[in-house]
Structures are given as structure tokens and as C-alpha cells.
Amino acid sequence: MKVHIETDRLILRDIETYDAAGMFQLDSNPEVHEFLGKKPIKTIEETRKMIDSVRNQYLRNGIGRWAIIDKKTADFIGWTGLKYEEGLRKEFNYYDLGYRLRSEYWGKGIATEAALASLKYGFEKLNLKEIGAAADINHIVSNKILRKIGLKFIETFEYDSALHNWYKIEKAEWINSKNKH
């Protein structure tokens, strides 16, 4: 089990096969999938495949989404982090920032805390030049988070029959914006 980051309230670590129950709770909830194509999963088998896919990305790309664990209770909150995204934009691949939390944990600033830590890791540890992110144009909360943490809106694009906003932040912009947090 590999811990990558500790924040005030959270541990960000590799997703493990034993996270299947928590991941299933997360992805079987229709509320969680409201802006993710409205296709919540139905079986734990689907969760296991997702975990295998993430763990393969750790090996293949050196990075993939991480589990967010509550430091106090050790509960599985959800996931965050960076993914080398090869399927979202037709024209290019990029390092994508994302987050997905179990609904019990919404509204406490956890996604913001986890996302800021992920950006720091991407620029300081992975030495990335830029990080991108996407959110359905109607997803008020996610668009708010991305802007708040310093990403700049670039354009809209269509994915899965829905319009999405695409954002990015370059390392120099991040260095400037981090002085504000």
C-alpha cells in the first residue's frame, strides 16, 4: 500500500483491491453519476475491473487516480488525483485532474483539499508542464472547484453527447496561484 500524500484531513494512496466495497458504494450511487453520463454501475464485478484498470495505469503511466482516505476514521471517501487521459479529447492526450466522492462526504471542502494536493504533486513531483480537467457545463460545483483552484477555462467540447468545459493550468500559473492558497 503506497501513500503518496497526507493533507490536513486526508490520506491519498494507491487504490487497492480491498477498496472494492467502498468503490462500489461510490459508483453505484446515481447521484454520484448525475454528471458522469448517468450510468451508475450495478455489480461489484464492474468495480473490480475499474480497480484493475487503475492499477494497470500505475504500471503503464506511472500515475493514476488515488484513493482518498479519512485520516481519522480510515474510511474510504472516494478518489482523486491525476490520470494520463487518452480517451476524453479526440485531438490530444493530457494529464487530467479529477475527483469523485461518496455523497456522505460532499460539501466539506474535501474535493478542493484533495485537488490542490494533486496539483502540487503533479507539478512538484512529476514535473508536469500542464494539467487539464473537464466538467459537464451544468455541473456547477465541479466547475466552481476547478476555477477556484486556479485552472483556466479554455473551451467547450462534446463528450458522451454532453457539452463539457475544458480547463488547464500551466506550471508557472500554478506557482503564481499557489501563493493565494
Ligand X SMILES: CC(C)(COP(=O)(O)OP(=O)(O)OC[C@H]1O[C@@H](n2cnc3c(N)ncnc32)[C@H](O)[C@@H]1OP(=O)(O)O)[C@@H](O)C(=O)NCCC(=O)NCCS
- Of 30 and 127, the one with the shorter C-beta distance to ligand X is 30
Helices and strands in the chain, H and E counts:
5, 8
Cell numbers placing 62: 506511472
- Of 126 and 140, the one with the shorter C-beta distance to ligand X is 140
Strand partners, 97: 82
- Which residues of the shown chain bind ligand X in the complex (CB under 6 A)? 32, 35-36, 78, 99-101, 106-112, 135, 139-142, 144-145, 148
- Of 146 and 172, the one with the shorter C-beta distance to ligand X is 146
Cell numbers placing 23: 468503490
- Of 5 and 110, the one with the shorter C-beta distance to ligand X is 110
Nearest C-alpha neighbor of 98 from the set 72, 57, 71, 68 = 68
- Of 37 and 62, the one with the shorter C-beta distance to ligand X is 37
Residue showing the smallest CB distance to ligand X in the complex? 111
Q: Minimum Å distance from CB 106 to ligand X?
A: 4
- Integer Cα distance of 89 and 166 in angstroms: 9
Q: Minimum Å distance from CB 89 to ligand X?
A: 14
Q: Minimum Å distance from CB 71 to ligand X?
A: 15
Question: Helices marked H in 28-153 — which ranges?
Answer: 44-61, 110-120, 140-148
Q: Minimum Å distance from CB 141 to ligand X?
A: 4
Q: Minimum Å distance from CB 31 to ligand X?
A: 7
Nearest C-alpha neighbor of 111 from the set 147, 68, 71, 140 = 68
Q: Find where cell 453519476 sits.
A: 33
Nearest-Å Rg of the Cα atoms of the chain is 15
